[in-house]
Chains A and B, each alone.
Chain A
Amino acid sequence: MRQALAVLSLCLASPAIAGVDAALEEHVLPEMDRFATATEDLAGVAETDCRAEVLRPAYHDAFDAWLGVSHLRFGPMEEGGRALAIAFWPDNRGMVGRTVARLITDEDPVVQSVRDFAEVSVAGRGLYAMERLLYDPTLAAYGHGDYSCALAVAMARDLARLGRGLARDWQAHARSMETAGDQGNVTYIGPREAAQALYTALVSGLKFTADQRLGLPLGTFDRPRPNLAEARRSGRSLRNVILSLQALEGLATALADRPIPETTAAFARALEVARALEDPVFAGVTDPTGRLEVEILQQRIEALVAPVTNEIGVPLGVSTGFNATDGD
């Protein structure tokens, strides 16, 4: 009897949610490592040859890896403004273009040190600032010895520093998520809080892709905004949607503690439309047919929220924030 009680109390003290461990081990930590490696590679290439055409393949790899983690906007991702320093988008006030232009015009010596460059505005760092340098035709023709060469190296090294920091800090953060609800855990106080954080990331990620990655270029019927498509300069708008869906499906599959047939089918339906779309930067939103195709993709992504709620949120006993979603 005593032994049985001991086992019981152990269970009560640590009602580990299998999906949390799986999501961390199969999704979060490997994807963080992949981003760290890809940004390290980008910095390595930049240090060897900083020219735009040389950097572009490694840049794409780093951006691809970012889509594996871009939805995990909590914990270490939120420390020191990391998420914005890596990905300052949407940029409603045009801050990225202005900040990059100012750095170049001033030939700001801040690029000479990784530590100094980390103090530059988040709008002048990260993947979107680097996109200007590598793809804006007025900026991308720089050569060795130009200021922009040093700027590209500084941006790549800064990304690598951020990637390293994320991979390192997520190791410790994963431990605190695995022990959610334990005495002394000051970050995840209740046993379900870690699952809730991952679930919120999943649902917020779906909404972000539907509302921003697709919603911004769609604009309204009377005023479509193709110039607001994410990473259109590097031709990545649709690619980002596909990669974000794949990453979110990876998180959903790991986090669920039971089969999720409706969710899996809904991801397949969304990805099918996305892969069939022959419009890499959503330029077609300005004509009715092209617009309809992007709207259908948006609807397929919006349609994921219901099965994700029913098959993952409800069984785990979690929902997105009670107050965060109230809006009053």
Chain B
Amino acid sequence: MSTRREFMTALAAASALPSLSWADAGSPAFLAAAREPDGTYALFGLDRTGADVLRIPLPDRGHAAAAHPRMPEAVAIARRPGTFAMVIDCATGRLLHRLNAPAGRHLYGHGAFIEEGAVLCTTENDIETGEGRIGLWARDAGYRRIGEIPSGGIGPHEIIALPGDVLAVANGGIRTHPDNGREKQNLDTMHPNLSYVTLAGGVKESVALGPELHKASIRHLAAGDGVVAFAMQWQGPMPDPAPLLGFHRLGGAPVLCAADLTEQIAMDGYAGSVAIAGGRAAITSPRGGRVHIYSLEGDFLATLRRRDVCGIAPDGANFVLTDGMGGIFSTIRTTLRLERRAERAWDNHLVRIGG
């Protein structure tokens, strides 16, 4: 596999330079993109209390960020169907590289590092065929594009790295063409899946739900305690109590979760982000103004209410949440506590740095 060979060459070429660490970037615990009051966009690094420790302007609306596992580097990825990603030195605030999707590709907004941070993986659309791709970029060769592999489905969205450099990819199943913005072209025939992919071996396992849930677009992922939590967005008629959260263990069958009828409907068929912390999983619904917390066995535990809430990340045994009005909250068991409020709209995702 030429991709693999090229990548190994690039890795070998990188010398052991003295390097900075996340401590040099003020030790942010989280990264989040936001819209500022003047309408511009930026990426923020936040400490554990939600206070700003770094701010880096972005040219357009961001979506999620990928944090390098060791180096104080973050990749801010454009909102779908954007074509740019920016590699930022979080210690200096400088733009290190601007990545542009190759011709015929656009990004979906998420990325993840593997190979101890040597390779950045981004979810992408092969615009002509609509097939999902994972773009590969060699960090130690200036984030040079070194190839791509199939994502195992259509419309890959969030991608996360599991132990052993296995990638979990949420193939949302929805085909779009950037010429038509976000118009969905295949709702009647969509078949989302959760795929496990390795650089060397390709798709090693693919998990699909039953035909009655083929319109439950699998979009976001979190991993912990040996389980992958996947969050969904219902594309069928609304309102509907379709499940929005599932759990999967490699080799096993997916377990779907739902709250009671009224709470389930109140999520408005939409989970925007998912996280695992303290033996629990939580999904956010900015449309329903709700957070639903479940045990990892799939039992519904609690609802937290906050309008336009979407970003969520683990912090020890609890969760940290962000919303579109600038609020930053922590959860204490099953209650919500305001940490602080900033004059900005936090965008979809809150990314935890390190553990």
A residues neighboring B (CB under 8 Å): 74, 78, 80-81, 84-85, 90, 92-93, 121-123, 186, 189-190, 192-193, 196-197, 200, 321-324, 326-328
Contact = CB atoms under 8 A, between A and B. Distances in A.
Interface in B137-169: 157
Specify the main secondary structure of chain A where it touches its partner. loop
B263 A81 contact: yes
Given A186-B338, A328-B80, A322 B35 contact: yes
Given A322-B308, A323-B308, A324-B287, A121 B237 contact: no
Interface of B: 35, 63, 79-80, 109, 157, 182, 219, 233, 236-240, 261-263, 265-266, 270, 272, 286-287, 289, 305, 307-310, 323-327, 338, 341, 345-348
B36 to A, nearest CB: 12
21 contacts: A78-B266, A81-B261, A84-B261, A90-B238, A92-B236, A92-B238, A92-B239, A93-B240, A121-B261, A122-B261, A189-B327, A196-B307, A321-B287, A321-B307, A322-B324, A323-B272, A323-B286, A323-B308, A326-B347, A327-B182, A328-B272
Contact of B341 (A121, A189, A200): A189
A88 B100 CA distance: 48
B46 to A, nearest CB: 17
A92 B240 contact: yes
B347 A323 contact: yes
Contact of B305 (A78, A200, A321): A78
Given A84-B266, A323-B272, 10 more contacts: A80-B262, A81-B262, A90-B237, A90-B238, A122-B261, A193-B307, A193-B325, A322-B324, A322-B346, A324-B324
A12 to B, nearest CB: 13
B43 to A, nearest CB: 16
A123 B260 CA distance: 12
Contacts of A189: 325, 327, 338, 341
Contact of A190 (B109, B262, B326): B326
B79 A328 contact: yes
Contact of B324 (A80, A197, A321): A321
A62 B272 CA distance: 36
A95 to B, nearest CB: 8
B325 A190 contact: yes
Interface-centre pick from A121, A123, A326, A328 (highest chain B CB count, 10 A) = A328
Interface-centre pick from A90, A123, A327 (highest chain B CB count, 10 A) = A327
